[in-house]
Structure 1
Amino acid sequence: MLITIRRLILLLALSAASLATAQAQQKLKYPKTKPDEIYDAVAKPAVPVSGLQGYADYLEKNQQYPTAALQGGQSGTVEVTFVVEKSGSVSSLAVKTPVSPVLDAEALRLIKGGPKWTPAENKGAKVRQRVTIPITFNLPLGAGGPAPMTLDREESKPAVSATGLTVVKADQPARPVGGTDAFFDWLQKNQRYPALARKKSVQGKVMVEFMVQKDGSLTDAKLVKRLGAGCDEEALRLIKAAPKWEPALYQGQPVKQKMVLPVLFHLL
């Protein structure tokens, strides 16, 4: 009986020692969460409060294609890295894969002005997490200075297609008189925000395609991307009423050129 009791005591002691060792190993393997540590991988990643689809919709609706990028034919994907704080706000924004200064700046603006996130969790506690989001800028067909232009049969010296048209690269692209900033300022000053869009808090951009004629007038305006609530009609009205541009030049002669530009609608 004494031997049995001694064995039992020994077994209990060994069990206690094993338990203590296991606990120590567990603590070494799973250290406590550090308050200011930034995690790349966590048990429960951070997600936008509006959900991934809602966040994607926000990016698409609020993206403003910079005028300089449109005129310069710049496009691509800007990867932005940032930290989702425990409060759900974002901080430490940086461009991971730059494309151009104006596109990089617009990508940062989008992320900085976006909705809050649901913070990440690790071991049941909220933690800071590093997140990377790609922002893609797709140049609309016909937008930008380097875009090709269509010449009438009588204007073109190169061989033409069966339709009587040929496509060449402008020696000097069409551009607004006074510059693109002056043109977009004119659009904003003369814009009549549709009552329905204001009532429904509709904001965004309408992409309009138009032709810059040889005399600089803007014609053949049509919608490429709609917004609705009266914004589409207002965008067309603005382009049709806009001041003349400096026409595109090919071999020193003015020619017609097709353009695509955004008309922005933002409530103050």
Structure 2
Amino acid sequence: MRPTVRRLTLLLALSTATLTAAHAQQKLKYPKPNADEIYDAVAKPAVPTTGLQGYADYLEKNQKYPAAAIQNGQEGTVEVTFVVEKSGGVSDVQVKNAVAPLLDAEAIRLIKGGPKWVPAENKGQKVRQRVTVPVSFMLPLGAGGPAPKVRPDEDGAAENKPAGPTVVKADQPARPVGGTDAFFEWIQKNQKYPALARKKNIQGKVMVEFMVQPDGSLTDVKLVKRLGAGLDEEALRLIKAAPKWEPATYQGKPVRQKMVLPVLFTLL
């Protein structure tokens, strides 16, 4: 074979090998994503369908601050981690940093019951992504604190009086008959949404303070945080008409205790 022909043949072979290698490299560069893979960082992250502000509003308006957590002065930010599926739903909801069992459980409930998400995308395809959302619990001014402080009367009965040398903590804090969930269910069932608030599309939480008396009745009801448009008056009516509670006790005898609870108003 002449040198020119041999050189041409060699160049053709090298060119073919180069094109084949480039084609193979291109295939390796864009593999199909694993359908079950969970991404932490993606080209287009998942976002709530309501937008970030809308999602924050959902968390605030639908939060049910556990009565026992308010009573015990528990607050803080619960970080919840979960997977946004390709369908926009959430799965594998877990608490990343525990604050208090009741607050942790409420944070999980909020995330599971929240609006759908726009799924993440990576290389032009929908993928699963792990997301972390902070859920904050903040006590209203003057709410919460340790169990009520009481001291014995001269006749041995316990009553709620200012702290002094003989001040002690109640053995058992006040609680709704049937539990907190039953109490809030009663509130929702008997709630009459004011027409003005409905017309103005006002919703949220009204914080109400009251005293649980030794006989379980709720007295001294007043507002701590207002919403207006008739919602404040309705919150007061509900607490005043609510079923009796199991009072706080000290040495087996009932005592008074101050409580602050949210009354939630949500438009359906």
Give the whole-Å Cα distance in 1 for the aligned partners of 2:76 and 2:9: 72
Distance 2:200 2:163 in 1: 52
Q: 1:122 to 1:16 in 2, by over 3 A?
A: farther
Q: What is the aligned partner in structure 1 of residue 81 from structure 2?
A: 81
Q: Which residue of 1 aligns with 2:154?
A: none
Amino acid at match of 2:85: E
State the 1:184 CA deviation: 3.8
1:107 aligns with 2:113: no
Partner of 2:91: 92
Match of 2:164 among 158, 174, 194: 158
CA distance in 2, matches of 1:50, 1:239: 33
> Residues 124, 8 of structure 1: CA spacing in aligned structure 2 closer, same or farther, 3 A cutoff?
farther
Per-residue CA distance 1:102-126 (angstroms, 9 max, x = gap)? 5454333322322222221111222
Aligned AA for 2:38?
A: I
Q: 1:157 to 1:17 in 2, by over 3 A?
A: closer
Q: Secondary structure at the match of 2:263?
A: strand
Match of 2:156 in 1: none
Judging changes above 3 Å, is the alpha-carbon distance between structure 1 residues 224 and 5 closer, same or farther for their aligned structure 2 residues? farther
User: d(CA) in 1 for partners of 2:53 and 2:181?
Assistant: 33
Q: Which residue of 1 aligns with 2:195?
A: 195
Identity level (%): 76
Shift of 1:259: 0.8
Q: Secondary structure at the match of 2:18?
A: helix
Structure 2: 5+ residue stretches without partners: 152-158
Corresponding residue for 2:132?
132
Deviations 1:2-33 (A, max 9, x none): 97897677556535533432442343344222
The alpha carbon displacement at 1:131 in A equals 2.2
- Alignment check: 8 A CA contact 2:217 2:244 kept: yes
SS at match of 1:234: helix
Q: Judging changes above 3 Å, is the alpha-carbon distance between structure 1 residues 157 and 64 closer, same or farther for their aligned structure 2 residues?
A: closer
Question: Is 2:196–2:230's contact at 8 Å kept on the other side of the alignment?
Answer: yes
Q: Deviations over 1:98-153 (max 9, x none)?
A: 56665454333322322222221111222222223333444555448x434488x9
Q: CA deviation at 1:73?
A: 6.0
My pick for the range that moved more, 120-129 or 3-12, is 3-12
Amino acid at match of 1:223: L
| Pairwise CA distance, 1:76 | 5.2
The question of whether the paired residues in 1 share the 8 Å contact of 2:160 and 2:256 is answered with no
1:260: Cα distance to partner? 0.9
CA distance in 1, matches of 2:31, 2:170: 63
TM-score normalized by structure 2? 0.72
**Cα distance, 1:67 vs structure 2:** 4.3
Hey, what does 1:117 align to over in structure 2?
117
- 1:1-268 alignment to 2 at 5 Å? 13-67=13-67, 69-70=69-70, 77-87=77-87, 89-97=88-96, 103-138=103-138, 142-143=143-144, 146-149=146-149, 155=161, 158-159=164-165, 169-176=169-176, 180=180, 183-213=183-213, 216-250=216-250, 254-267=254-267
Distance 2:82 2:177 in 1: 40
CA distance in 2 between counterparts of 1:192 and 1:154 reads: 34
**Cα distance in 1 for residues equivalent to 2:161 and 2:109:** 44
Offset at residue 72 of structure 1 (A): 6.4
User: Aligned-pair RMSD on alpha carbons?
Assistant: 3.9
> Scaled by the length of structure 1, what TM-score is found?
0.72
Residues 11/36 of structure 1: CA separation in 2 closer, same or farther (3 Å cut): same
What is the alpha-carbon distance in structure 2 between the residues aligned to residue 6 and residue 168 of structure 1? 104
Number of matched pairs: 258
Unpaired stretches in structure 1, ≥5 consecutive residues: 161-166
SS of alignment partner, residue 18 of structure 1: helix
